[in-house]
Structure 1
Amino acid sequence: MNFSIKEVAEKLNISQYTLRYYEREGLIPSVQRDNNGRRVYTDADLGWLQIVCCMRATGMSISYIKKYVDLCISSKDTLDERRKIMLEQKEIIEEEIKKYTDLLELVNMKLDYYDKKVSKDELKELIIEKKK
């Protein structure tokens, strides 16, 4: 299936400018063009873009992503190196998940505190109301 730049931008929630930039930087190996010179993205291009977006979301630099893409298109002899890059990305994501899990735990503790406080205050108000 083929997609326009607008469709890909909407599908991946990135700007058309970003798509053009990724292409200029060589992060999408071979975007085809139609007879009018407009970009035509394939399912394979979308696959590349999903990986690129994932890597960017974890803070990987454009040059490091470019290195990964170059390894992917060069040969099968680079499987170990590509796997190492993916393993590093996995570790980064796991660290981020842990960080946010810890933050969530703190927020939940504060919510529990406020819930208990509110419950005690409501109970006090009920007791006062009954005494009247």
Structure 2
Amino acid sequence: MEYTIGELAQKMNISTPTLRYYEDQGLLRHIKRLPNGRRVYTQKDVVMLNTIECLKKAGMSLQDISQYIDWCEEGFPSVQKRYELFVRKQEEIEQQIADLQKILATLRWKRNFYQKALESGELTICDADREKIAEAIIDDAL
């Protein structure tokens, strides 16, 4: 299946100027053009665009993404480099998720604490509960 720039932008939730920018920056390469100059995007372009967006959201610069695309065009000789890139990025994202889960646990606990305070009309916490909370924080179990 092939897509016009507008169709692809809508389906991928990306602006058409962003698609043009990616092409200008050499991130989307070898885009097919009709005789009238209009861009036509293939399934291969969709897959590459998805990868670009993923890497961008994973914190990679456009320059580093361009390097990855260069490696893709090299073929098999750069597979080890690409593998290592994705291993590193996966580890980084898994750490970010773990950090966010700890933050979310604290937010949930605080929200519940204040909800109970609103329901009871009291803002109290006993020393035993405070001790359990402190231990949970230290043990990353909150």
- TM-score bucket of the superposed structures, by smaller chain: 0.7 to 0.9
Alpha-carbon RMSD across the aligned residues, in angstroms, is 1.5
The C-alpha deviation readout for 1:77-120, integer Å capped at 9, x for no partner, is: 11110101111221222122123212211210111102221332
Q: What residue in structure 1 maps to residue 32 of structure 2?
A: 32
What corresponds to 1:83 in structure 2? Answer: 83
* Deviation for aligned residue 1:40: 0.3
User: In the TM superposition, what are the counterparts of 1:44-63 in structure 2 within 5 Å?
Assistant: 44-63=44-63
Q: Which residue of 2 aligns with 1:100?
A: 100
Whether 1:74 aligns to 2:57 is: no
TM-score by length of 2: 0.80
Task: Give CA deviations for 1:27-49 in whole Å, capped at 9, x if unaligned.
Answer: 12211011210110011100000
Write out per-residue CA displacement over residues 47-79 of structure 1, whole angstroms, 9 at most, x where no aligned residue.
Answer: 000000000111101111011111011120111
Query: Is 2:17 the counterpart of 1:17?
Result: yes
Amino acid at match of 2:116: K
Distance 1:99 1:7 in 2: 37
Structure 1 segments (4+ residues) deviating >2 Å = none
User: What is the TM-score with the length of structure 1 in the denominator?
Assistant: 0.86
Match of 1:7 in 2: 7
Considering Cα pairs closer than 8 Å and 6+ residues apart, tell me whether 1 or 2 has the greater RCO.
1
How far apart in 1 are the matches of 2:63 and 2:55? Answer: 11
Q: Hey, what's the Cα distance between the residues in 1 that align with 2:104 and 2:72?
A: 37
Within the alignment, does 1:121 sit opposite 2:121 as a pair? yes
Tell me the distance in 1 between the aligned counterparts of 2:4 and 2:114: 50
Deviations along 1:11-31, one digit per CA (max 9) or x if unpaired, are 111111111111111112211
Matched residue pairs, number? 122
Structure 1 portions without partners, runs of 5+: 123-132
How many percent identity over aligned positions?
36
Counterpart residue number, 2:132: none
**Structure whose alpha-carbon radius of gyration is higher:** 1
Query: Greater CA deviation, 77-86 or 109-118?
Result: 109-118
